[in-house]
Structure 1
C-alpha cells in the first residue's frame, strides 16, 4: 500500500479552503442535523433515538451560526465573526450540545430509573469496574458466565483490555449520575484531546493560518461528527482510546517518541484497536533510532495491565479477551454491520474463512509496506493507520458501524500533523534510489545510485 501524503493533502486543502473553511463547516453541521433527525425518528435503539432528539437541535443551531458567518464574510464584515476563533467557538458549542449534553441528560435519566438510556457496553464496563474492585480482575470465568441466565450471558463478557475497567470504578463506589461510565469517558476524552491540541500548537514552527485550520478540522472529526458524538453519548468506550491514539500521533509530530509510546500504550491497555496504531508508531520511531524507547511504552503498558488479571484468573482473561472476540465464547458478539467482511462471511460457503483470508492478506500488504518503506513523518503514520484500520473494519466478519470513527479521525488528523511542511524532517534516500550530485561548477550533474 503506497500512501502519498502530499497528494492527499493537496486534494483535501482544495475542498477545505472553500470560503475560508466555512463551506465545509456548513455542510458538516447541516448533514449532521439531518442524520440526527433521522436517527431520532427511525432508530430501533432507544439510546440512539434519545441522542438524535437532543443533537439535531445542536447541529441545526451550529449550521445557522455558520450560515451567518458566510453572510458576514460575503458582506466583508469584521474578521472576528468569520475567522478561526469564531469557527473554534462554533465547534465547541456543537460538541457541547451534540455529545456532552446528551451524555449528561442520559446519565441523569438512567440514574432516575430509565433502563433504556445506555448501551450494553456501558453496563459491561461498570460491572467490570465492580469486579475489579472486589476481586482484583474485571473478568468472569467460563463457568461463572455459564451459570448466568442465557439472557445475561452476553453482558457477562468483558471483551476489553483490563484498563477499561477503571472507567467503571466510580459506579462501583457511588451510584449517581456522575459515576456513569460515559461521564468519565467524556472527561478523559476532552482532557486528552486538549493535550493533543496543545502539543501540536507548541511545535517550534510558524503558527500559520493553514496550520490552525487543519487542526480545527481534525478536532471536528474527533468530536462533532455524528459517528463520534453518537458513540460518546450512547456507549462511549471507543472515544478515550481514539483520543489517546491521536495524542500519540501529536507527540510523534512534536518528535517526542517516548511520550508517543506511552500515549498509545495507554490506549492499548484499554482496547485492542490501539495495538495496530502502536505497531505503526514503533516503525516510525525506528526511523529515528527511537524504536525501543517507543516500544517500551507502546507494548509495555498493555503488558503491565494484563499482569494482575493473569495472576488472579488466567482462564477468565483468555475467555474474555481471546475466545469471545474470536467467536468461541458461550455466546456470539452482536456486532454485525453489513460491511464486506460480514456479508462474505454470511453469504458464501466457507465465508468466514474467505473473509479471514482477505483480512490476513490486507494485514500482510500493510506489513510489507512498513518493512519496505516505514513512515518517516507523523502524517504518513496517521495515514497508514487510518487506511489500515479502514481495511480491517471493512473485512472483519464481526464489526460495528461505529468503529469507523477510528479511520475517519486518523485520516482527518494527518493534515494537522503535516503542517507546516518546513517542520518535517527530510527523508533520506532509500536504498536503490537515484539522487543528483552537483558537478564541479555547482550545476546538477549525473544521477548516481545511492
Structure 2
C-alpha cells in the first residue's frame, strides 16, 4: 500500500484536533446550534417561500438535536465512556436530525404541493419533472430552440433542462402518476440515501492496519462527520427539501471516492459515471479519479464507467434531437440561450463579470487559469490516494464556483462535503519490512 503524503497527514492532524474535542460532541454542538439559528433566520427572512417553509420545520429539528447533544456532553463529562455519549449515539442523533430537517420537509412540501400549493417547490423540481414527461412522450428530455422560443416569455426559463439526460429519470414517476410520492424530491432523497448507505458500507468494509474484523473508531468518527456534511449541513438539507437535484450527484461522487479508497477502481468509475450522467458538476471528479486510477494502473477501468456512462446517456438525446441537446446543455449554461440563467450569487466571478469592462472575458480567463493550474497539479503530482483525490476535487470545485460568472451559493455543498469526506477515506499505510525491523530493534 502506498504511504500517505506528509501534507495530507498534517491536514488530518489539524482537523482531528478540532473534530475530536469532547469526543466529537463539541463540533456536533456547534453544527446543530448554528444550523438551528440559520434555519430560524431562513424561516423569517427568506424571500423564497419553499425556503421559509423548510426553515420553519428544520429549526425545530436542529433545536432538538442541539438539546440532545447538550445532554450527551453532560453525560460525557461525567463518564467519557458512556454509551449514550458515544459514537453510535452520535450516529443516531445524525439520522434523526436528517429525518427531521430534510426528509420530513421533503414529504411535507410534496404533500402540500399535491394538495394545490404552488409555492412548495423550486423551479428545478418542475424542470426535472417536465424533462421526465418529455422523455416519455418524445424520447428526449429537451425542448429544441424553436419550441422554447414559442413559449410565453415568462415560461421560457422553465423550458430549459440544463442537466444531463439521466436527471430526467427522477421525473419519470411524476410523468406516470400525479401524487405526493412521485415528487422528484422524494426520488432525489431515495437516490441520495441509497448512494450514501453504499458509501458507508464500502468504507466500513475497508480493512485497517489492525485487520478487517477490527473496529476503527477514528475512521468511523471521520465517516460520521463526512455523512453529516452531506446530510444535516443546512446547505444540503435545505437543498434536498426545496430543490434537491444536486444531492444524488454529490452522494454518487462520495460513493465513487469511497470505492476508490476501498481499492475498487472499476466500481468507482461506474459511480462517478452515474453522477456524470446526471449533472456536469461530476465531470471534474471523474477526471481526477481517472488520474488517480492511472497511478494504480487502473485508469482504463475507471474511465470505462466514468466516461462511458455519460456518453451512453447522451447518445439517445443526440440521435433524437441534436439541436435541442446543444441548446440545453451547452448554449444555456454558457450564457448563449434565449434567456439567461438566474444563478447570480455575488462570488468573485459574477462580480467581475458584471462590474468590469469585458468582465465576462476576464472571469472566463481566470476560470481557465484555475483549470490549467489544477491540470498542472494533476500532471506533476497525481493523486495516489482517495484522500488526495477528494481534496483536489473539493478545492478545485471551490475555485470553479468562486470564478464562474453565473453560480449559486447552493453549489458550495459540493466542495464542503468533498473536503469533509476526505478524512474518512484515509487508509493507514502498512509499514514496510525495513520499518518493522527498525521498530523492533529500537524497542
Give the TM-score category using the shorter length.
Answer: over 0.9
**In structure 1, what is the Cα distance between the partners aligned to 2:384 and 2:170?**
35
Instruction: Spell out the pairing of 1:203-222 with structure 2 (5 A cutoff).
Output: 203-205=206-208, 206=210, 207-222=215-230
Question: Which residue of the other structure, out of 109, 115, 119, is the alignment partner of 1:116?
Answer: 119
Q: 1:3–1:384: 8 Å Cα contact kept in structure 2?
A: no
Instruction: Spell out the pairing of 1:18-417 with structure 2 (5 A cutoff).
Output: 18-76=21-79, 79-205=82-208, 206=210, 207-417=215-425
1:299 is displaced (CA, Å) by 0.3
For 2:143, what is the secondary structure of its paired residue? coil
Structure 2: gaps (5+ residues): 433-440
1:5 is displaced (CA, Å) by 1.5
**In structure 1, what is the Cα distance between the partners aligned to 2:226 and 2:307?**
26
Q: 1:265–1:301: 8 Å Cα contact kept in structure 2?
A: yes
**In structure 2, what is the Cα distance between the partners aligned to 1:314 and 1:263?**
26
Which residue is equivalent to 1:436? Answer: none
Between 245-254 and 72-81, report the one with greater CA deviation.
72-81
Which residue is equivalent to 2:429? Answer: 422
Between 74-83 and 26-35, report the one with greater CA deviation.
74-83
C-alpha distance after superposition, 1:192-246 (max 9, x if no partner): 1000000000012243211110000000000000000000000000000000000
Which residue is equivalent to 1:438? Answer: none
Q: 1:16–1:24: 8 Å Cα contact kept in structure 2?
A: yes
**Structure 1 pair 77–323 and aligned structure 2 pair: CA distance change class (3 A):** closer
**In structure 1, what is the Cα distance between the partners aligned to 2:429 and 2:56?**
45
1:4 is displaced (CA, Å) by 2.7
1:75 is displaced (CA, Å) by 1.5
C-alpha distance after superposition, 1:284-326 (max 9, x if no partner): 0000101011001000000000010011000000000000000
C-alpha distance after superposition, 1:125-156 (max 9, x if no partner): 00000000010000000000000000000000
1:422 is displaced (CA, Å) by 2.7
For 2:429, what is the secondary structure of its paired residue? helix
Q: 1:3–1:383: 8 Å Cα contact kept in structure 2?
A: no
C-alpha distance after superposition, 1:33-67 (max 9, x if no partner): 00000000000000000000000000000000000
**In structure 1, what is the Cα distance between the partners aligned to 2:423 and 2:393?**
14
TM-score in terms of structure 2 length: 0.94
Q: What is the number of equivalent residue pairs in this alignment?
A: 427
Which residue is equivalent to 2:9? Answer: 6
C-alpha distance after superposition, 1:151-205 (max 9, x if no partner): 0000000000000000000000000000000000000100110000000000122
Q: 1:3–1:380: 8 Å Cα contact kept in structure 2?
A: no
RMSD of equivalent CA atoms = 1.7
1:7 is displaced (CA, Å) by 1.6
